[in-house]
C-alpha cells in the first residue's frame, strides 16, 4: 500500500508516532474536570484563527441550505509549509466552533513539526460554542420523541451528510491541495455518532474516522443494530481506519440537573444506561473483524464525557500529523491498542 519512499521512512515514522501519541495523552492532564458541564450559552470568542500564526493561515466560508434557513460556517486552517507532492492530509472537525476553541499556538506548532494537516472546522454560522438544537438536527440519523414531550427531534444526518460531502468537502479541496487518501472526519458525542453513521452510509467519503464518545444510546441504540449489520455485510467501498475514543469515567455522576429539568436529566441517564458500558469497545472489535477495516479503541481512563472533546480532538489532530497517519499503531501505548482480528 505504501510506496518505496514511505517504506524506507518506517523507523522514523514509528518514532514520530510514539512522540505524537505521548504528547496527546499528556494533554489529557490539562483537560477540564471530569464533571464539568458545557454552558449552552458560551460564545466562541477569540481563537487561533484570529491571530497571526507562522504555521497556519486561516480563512472561512459559509454554506447555506437550499432554502437558506440553515447556514454552516467552515473555518479553514491551511498549513503555511509547502504542500507535499500528493497534497495535504485533511481533518474535518464537527462542532467546529467548540473544536476550534481547543486549538492553541503550541498545538499548531506541534502539527507543523509533522505532516501538518489542513483543518476544516465545520460549525454553524453563529458565535455559539455549541449549537445544541442544530447539532441534534444534523448529527442524528433518526428522529426521536423529546423527553419533555416537545415532539420529535433529530433525524437530519442524511441531509447534513449531503451538505458535508457534496458542498463542504469540494470547497475545501478547491481552497487547498488535498491528498484524498488522507482525509479524516472527527466528531464527539452526537458528532461521534454521525461519524459512524457516515462510515456506514458513505464509507468512501473519508479514509479515516475518529468517533469520540459516540452517543450509541441514541434512539435505543439504533446504530448498533441494522445500520452496523448492513455495513458489516455489504462490500467495503474503500479501506477505512476507524478510531473510537472513550473516557473511562463517562458514566460517572454529572452535575445536578437544573431546577425543573430533573425529569429530562433522569430520562437521559436512563437512555445512556440502556446501552452496555463496553459498547464502544465491542463495536471497535466488530469493525476490526471486517476485511479492509483497521479499527482501534482508545480509552482515556480519567476523563468524563465533556473533557473527552478536548482530549480527542487534539489527539486526532496529532495523529493526522504523523506520516503516514496511523491512529491504530501498536506503539501508541496501553490505552490505545489495536483490536486483534
Catalytic positions are: 189, 250, 305
Q: In 30-159, which ranges are E strands?
A: 56-64, 71-79, 88-93, 118-124, 143-145, 152-154
Long-range contacts made by residues 216-220, C-beta under 8 angstroms, separation at least 24? 216/275, 216/279, 216/280, 216/283, 217/271, 217/272, 217/274, 217/275, 218/140, 218/141, 218/142, 218/144, 218/154, 218/190, 218/193, 218/271, 219/140, 219/141, 219/142, 219/144, 219/154, 220/271, 220/274
- Helices and strands of the chain, counted as H and E runs: 13, 11
Per DSSP, what are the bridge partners of residue 90?
118, 183
Do 125 and 72 contact (CB within 8 A), yes or no? yes
Distance separating alpha carbons of residues 23 and 12, to the nearest angstrom: 17
Per DSSP, what are the bridge partners of residue 138?
none
Distance separating alpha carbons of residues 304 and 336, to the nearest angstrom: 17
CA distances from 282 to 119, 278, 299 (A): 30, 6, 13
Do 49 and 58 contact (CB within 8 A), yes or no? yes
Q: What are phi and psi of 106, to 5 degrees?
A: -65, -40
Distance separating alpha carbons of residues 193 and 224, to the nearest angstrom: 10
Do 187 and 195 contact (CB within 8 A), yes or no? yes
- CA-angle at 171, arms to 169 and 177, nearest 5°: 85
Distance separating alpha carbons of residues 198 and 200, to the nearest angstrom: 5
Give the three-state DSSP class for 76: strand
Count CB atoms within 10 A of the CB of residue 152. Answer: 10
Amino acid at each position: 500500500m505504501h510506496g518505496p519512499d514511505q517504506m524506507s521512512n518506517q523507523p522514523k515514522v514509528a518514532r514520530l508516532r510514539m512522540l505524537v501519541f505521548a504528547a496527546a495523552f499528556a494533554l489529557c492532564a490539562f483537560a477540564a474536570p471530569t464533571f464539568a458541564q458545557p454552558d449552552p450559552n458560551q460564545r466562541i470568542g477569540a481563537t487561533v484563527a484570529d491571530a497571526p500564526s507562522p504555521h497556519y493561515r486561516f480563512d472561512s466560508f459559509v454554506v447555506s441550505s437550499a432554502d437558506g434557513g440553515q447556514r454552516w460556517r467552515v473555518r479553514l486552517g491551511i498549513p503555511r509549509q509547502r504542500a507535499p507532492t500528493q497534497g495535504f492530509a485533511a481533518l474535518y472537525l464537527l462542532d467546529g466552533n467548540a473544536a476550534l476553541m481547543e486549538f492553541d499556538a503550541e498545538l499548531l506548532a506541534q502539527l507543523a513539526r509533522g505532516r501538518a494537516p489542513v483543518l476544516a472546522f465545520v460549525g454553524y454560522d453563529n458565535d455559539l460554542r455549541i449549537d445544541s438544537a442544530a447539532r441534534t438536527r444534523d448529527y442524528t440519523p433518526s428522529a426521536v420523541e423529546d423527553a419533555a414531550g416537545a415532539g420529535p427531534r433529530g433525524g437530519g444526518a442524511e441531509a447534513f451528510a449531503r451538505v458535508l460531502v457534496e458542498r463542504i468537502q469540494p470547497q475545501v479541496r478547491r481552497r487547498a491541495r488535498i491528498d484524498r487518501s488522507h482525509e479524516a472526519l472527527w466528531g464527539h458525542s452526537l458528532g461521534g455518532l454521525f461519524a459512524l453513521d457516515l462510515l456506514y452510509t458513505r464509507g468512501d467519503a473519508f479514509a479515516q474516522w475518529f468517533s469520540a464518545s459516540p452517543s450509541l444510546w441514541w434512539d435505543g441504540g439504533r446504530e448498533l443494530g441494522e445500520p452496523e449489520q448492513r455495513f458489516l455485510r455489504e462490500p467495503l467501498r474503500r479501506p477505512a481506519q476507524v478510531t473510537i475514543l472513550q473516557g473511562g469515567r463517562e458514566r460517572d455522576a454529572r452535575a445536578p440537573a437544573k431546577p425543573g429539568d430533573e425529569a429530562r436529566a433522569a430520562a437521559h441517564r436512563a437512555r445512556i444506561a440502556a446501552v452496555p458500558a463496553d459498547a464502544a469497545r465491542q463495536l471497535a472489535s466488530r469493525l476490526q473483524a471486517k476485511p479492509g477495516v483497521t479499527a482501534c479503541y482508545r480509552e482515556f481512563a480519567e476523563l468524563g464525557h465533556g473533557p473527552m472533546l478536548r482530549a480527542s480532538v487534539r489527539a486526532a489532530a496529532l495523529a493526522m500529523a504523523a506520516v503516514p497517519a496511523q491512529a491504530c499503531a501498536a506503539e501508541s501505548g496501553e490505552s490505545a491498542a489495536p483490536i486483534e482480528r
